[in-house]
Chain A
Amino acid sequence: MLHCIFLLSDSGEVMLEKQLTGHQVDRSICVWFWDQIISQGDSLKLVPVIASPTHYLFQVVREGITFLACTQVEMPPLMAIEFLSRVADVLTDYLGSLNEDLIKDNFVIVYELLDEMIDNGFPLTTEPNILREMIAPPNIVSKVLSVVTGNVSNMSNTLPGATSSCVPWRKTDLKHASNEVYVDLVEEMDAIINRDGALVKCEIYGEVQVNSQLSGLPDLTLSFANPSILNDMRFHPCVRLRPWEANQILSFVPPDGEFKLMSYRVKKLKSTPIYVKPQLSSDSGTCRISVLVGIRNDPGKSIDSITVQFRLPPCVLSADLSANHGAVNILADKTCSWSIGRIPKDKAPSMSGTMALETGLQRLNVFPSFQVSFRIMGVALSGLQIDKLDLKNLPSRPYKGFRALTRAGEFEVRS
């Protein structure tokens, strides 16, 4: 049971305070909390669950905004953390993104949302679809509409039908002019590559994202050509689990709009689409660095938005880096980022240069890790393929669309 929720800006100012129970939590707790953060140096480093003299505090940081919840009683920590993450997600969804100004401009909506999401310290509903029916998001359309009609209320006047329907995530009488459903496979590749080029760990975390614009109460079945490669799945509450267990078929009545149908992991992949080969050699106070990037396993589609990032070791005083393709930037916090974009056909991109070490240091003694990001449209690198999508219970023939996308998640090359 949570007693209170605070939203703090990145300077520690209380932007919002929502008391949830009769036990009022004084704001001074935030001052205490912020002192802790300052003493830790970096808010990201502060443990998510900490004990203050009076309360137990849960914190989740998103885009510089700290979501802080207080409790005095024993409760599942993951419940609080998960709830705060959902609050952050819902707010991002409502406000378009998340920053201090947006929250301050729309604090009434934030209050309204929190009011519906949690009562007396117990989470009620965090399903964006249901919330959206109770509280209209502050989008341009509604702004225009309110100017035109003179009705300024950003609140729908009807009670969500969903709360009483038998399918809690969907209201019964939806109507769409165009009947469309889009299924996206979005995969992230997490990999660690050692300095000798060996793959230490390579995994794919994937999501099946569905955007459904369908009328009535449609019943969908989605099947994969090769479901056996999936390691562990998690499903949206709408998925019926029996058909999955029996035949690996996803059978569900979709919520309206965008949602995450399932997430999965594929373990132990054998190769990565690109290689990044850093080489560092140092001698008498200078260090030569060269990084080579190229395609290792052609996925069949073009790989774009390739960037390589690394943090210069603290013992490096200055660096002079240049690349034969793309741009190299060194930021103030010693982060060096090399954006390559696409790999050209005629040459292999490489970056090279020298770094001057601290006086007295002969050789480099800490080695940076290189974070690589890339994006491949049209391919799911895990090899997962959608077999077919059947729709039942629909008034008219719908349009079905499929897409796939793979991008680098935590893709790390050590040197």
Chain B
Amino acid sequence: MAPPAQSQKSASPSQPSGKGEVSDVKMQLRQLAGSRSPGTDDAKRELFKKVISYMTIGIDVSSVFSEMVMCSATSDIVLKKMCYLYVGNYAKYNPDLALLTINFLQRDCKDEDPMIRGLALRSLCSLRVANLVEYLVGPLGTGLKDGNSYVRMVAAIGVLKLYHISASTCMDADFPAMLKHLMLNDKDAQVVANCLTSLQEIWGLEASTSEEAARERETLLSKPVIYYFLNRIKEFSEWAQCIVLDLVAKYVPSDSNEIFDVMNLLEDRLQHANGAVVLATIKMFLQLTLSMTDVHQQVYERIKAPLLTLVSSGSPEQSYAVLSHLHLLVMRAPFIFSSDYKHFYCQYNEPFYVKKLKLEMLTAVANESNTYDIVTELCEYAANVDIPMARESIRAVGKIALQQYDVNAIVDRLLQFLEMEKEHVTAETLVLVKDLLRKYPQWSHDCIAVVGNISSKNVQEPKAKAALIWMLGEYAQDMQDAPYILESLIENWDEEHSAEVRLHLLTAIMKCFLRRPPETQKALGAALAAGLADFHQDVHDRALFYYRLLKYNVTVAERVVDPPKQAVSVFADTQSSEIKDRIFDEFNSLSVVYQKPSYMFTDKEHRGPFEFSEELGNLSIDTELADNVVPAQRVEANDKDLLLSTSEKEDNHGASNNSSAYNAPSYDGSRMVAASQAQQDLVSLDQPPPADVPASLAIDDLLGLGLPVAPSPAPSPPALKLNAKAVLDPNSFQQKWRQLPLAASQEISMNPQGVSCIVKSSGSSSAYARSFHPLHCFRWSSPELQVLFLRTKRGRAFYLSCGLYFNRLCPNLVCLRDQSWKKMIE
């Protein structure tokens, strides 16, 4: 028999291959199989144990399958259990031999002991061999009608297992109807709950193809069914309660009286000992009262105490899950926990992931009245032994300061951090002081006085160094030594490894020069020379650009490099409110933990859990899958600026789409049109995210050199050599891709058939009707060119973006940018 590849693979090299042992066991089992002597069961038990322990440590013992089956005729229940376990694990790979087990399992299904009946039925359903389903129908049918609830409970889940092996067999035998009957009439709550889980899944998967199933799925949410469950809620086990509550959360009551009835009935669930039940109840309460603002607020008040108890009483893992939810809530309603901020004080022994969430909570609940206490507490952590913790807490202080409460006191505290003379504290604080100054320029005097005392030698981290240099440049007129500090930094140019720091150094020395020319001129010259000789492309380009700018006209240079600045009033929020709402709708799910709506990370899910290829466990395939997921997130997260760029090109199309995207700050968008608006671009260059620099600087270079912008693929400048083995991670590729200007455009019309063909190729029509995968890639090729289509979905519309790959024209130029967007309305 062919050994399954699965378990062979997983056995780690350090473990014994176990070949000798296995054949040994095989011999012994064979001897025992026929024997009827009194001690047989004990011997068998030892052998079975051995087999299972081999199985557990990953040795492939499928070769003893037939011997195991031969030995399985026993009345000993533990032996039976071990045998079931073994059979369940290996039957899948030995479908022919699995037939042997059917016989004894079927016999056990008729045993007089309900426990054995149940166990046998469970094992029978767990064999998962497609050609044995015919043997399942009978025992399942009897199982569902069994007098004992244990057997019925097993059978109810068994139907679901059967459905996943062979949906048609399950539907033909009319099991869903039997389950429904059982669900509404059985007196054992666990049976009812199991029926519910099975039915939810079966009808959920069937609904796309069968109208009847869709209707049945609706009836699960009908008033009588929901009330039936609610009235029995206390009979259910805690886990079953979670399932029921999840169902009820989808129910839409007809009027507010009904809502209050449901809430009154379930209020005591908030005091359940199981956190999962509490959270499921909270989710339901929040969903039910979404439309009633004042009641919604009362709900917040009501759920506060249970949530806080969950945080402080459970294990760290539980606290983590609950805190993630609290964080979501506090984002929507910061006031609810503002008086309970002490609950989020970190304890020394807590794991870092809990502390980090607690810090986020503290930042979120800070308001006028508690800021002082919270910041005092955070300062304690800054002196903490734990360095990551100290960093996080300084960041938290900064975040609170940017929220505008009691800035005065906070600035004092931050400056005290600088005096602590600890490298990581100083580094973190510098970055924060920089951000603070961008928002509150009025504090510059106090800060500068302290910052000026910091020796740049004590600051090693690139981010902090860059921040310090930025301040030196920005406040050059207030700091006596600024030019000289910068000068000494420039002298050590070669020892500075971070390109970010060198870029900042260039800009700072420029600013300094524009304000105090006589003192800085020499240093500027040295900096530009060093910059031009720099091996880093961006640094080189920026130095060249400054040089030409200065040569052209100093006043223009001043306007470009050092224009009067406005204080930043609001730092861009990373998450849009729309996404926050989406996450809120998915309260009590993984989305909350990841702080992303589920469509961003589980696009596979739409296919249903069981349509994955069997080899999915194999990691080589996995990475591909993972790649599919990651672009989905990226594209969604970035489609704001994608949309903006579209709007420039296709005004008539995009306008009706998503208004919120247009309200977004145009910061990103400005980069898109950077080439034509050099000034604007340079202002934003002042604090550019590092990854953005290459492309836009390259453009500057083109402009500065006065080369004509080629309408067709420009020949790459001689300095740039194409790397034959270029490696670019998807993220930065995407970023660079977006920053390229439109090089050439070509209209290729595609007939509607082609479009619909693409739509179809991306999924079966049923999947299409239900839900889109947020992202899909497919290819259409012809002799001259290949078109790669990328489909993204947003709202009810979806976009096709295509990339062209020329097969013959430019062999060394891999791809051109042509983004033409086609919008299709569903």
Contacts and interface: CB of A to CB of B under 8 A. Distances in A.
Interface stretch (A147-155, A321-329, A342-350): A147-155
A85 B345 contact: no
Nearest to B611: A23
A223 to B, nearest CB: 17
B385 A366 contact: yes
Given A122-B243, A203-B312, A367-B383, A82 B276 contact: yes
A237 B272 contact: yes
A338 interface: no
Nearest to B598: A74
B189 A28 contact: no
Interface string B391-422: 00000000000000000000000000000111
Nearest to A45: B352
Given A74-B590, A124-B190, A236 B273 contact: yes
Contacts of B325: 78
A137 to B, nearest CB: 14
Given A26-B10, A235-B272, A72 B612 contact: yes
Contacts of A241: 268, 271
Interface string A173-214: 000000000000000001010100000110101000000000
B150 interface: yes
Contacts, number: 284
Given A155-B77, A201-B342, A241-B271, A234 B309 contact: yes
A140 interface: no
A133 to B, nearest CB: 11
Contacts of B77: 153, 155, 157
B602 A74 contact: yes
Interface stretch (A52-60, A296-304, A374-382): A52-60
B293 interface: no
A73 interface: yes
A241 B276 CA distance: 19
B778 interface: no
Contacts of B604: 72
A269 interface: no
A107 B165 contact: no
A36 B795 CA distance: 36
Given A53-B623, A76-B588, A28 B384 contact: no
A59 B119 CA distance: 28
A410 B312 CA distance: 10
Given A48-B321, A59-B317, A14 B57 contact: yes
A127 B237 contact: yes
Interface in A102-141: 104, 107-108, 111-112, 115, 119-120, 122-127, 134
A96 B209 CA distance: 52
A-side interface size class: 35 or more
B-side interface size class: 35 or more
Interface in B137-176: 148-150, 153-154, 157, 160-161, 164-165
Contacts of B243: 122
A206 to B, nearest CB: 10
B768 interface: no
Interface in B306-353: 306, 308-309, 312-318, 320-322, 324-325, 342, 345, 347-349, 351-353
16 contacts: A26-B619, A51-B594, A54-B616, A74-B591, A79-B239, A84-B317, A85-B317, A107-B53, A111-B82, A124-B153, A125-B237, A201-B345, A237-B234, A237-B273, A241-B271, A366-B383
Interface of B: 6, 9-10, 12, 41-42, 45, 49, 52-53, 56-58, 76-78, 81-82, 85, 88-89, 92, 113-115, 119, 122, 128, 148-150, 153-154, 157, 160-161, 164-165, 188-190, 194, 197, 234-235, 237-239, 242-243, 246, 268, 271-276, 278-280, 305-306, 308-309, 312-318, 320-322, 324-325, 342, 345, 347-349, 351-353, 377, 380, 383-385, 420-422, 586, 588-594, 598, 601-602, 604-605, 609-610, 612, 614, 616-619, 622-623, 625-626
Interface of A: 1, 3, 13-17, 19, 21-29, 31-32, 44-49, 51-54, 56, 59-61, 72-79, 81-85, 104, 107-108, 111-112, 115, 119-120, 122-127, 134, 152-155, 157-160, 163-164, 168, 190, 192, 194, 200-201, 203, 205, 231-237, 241, 245, 260, 263, 265, 311, 313-314, 365-369, 371, 410, 412, 414
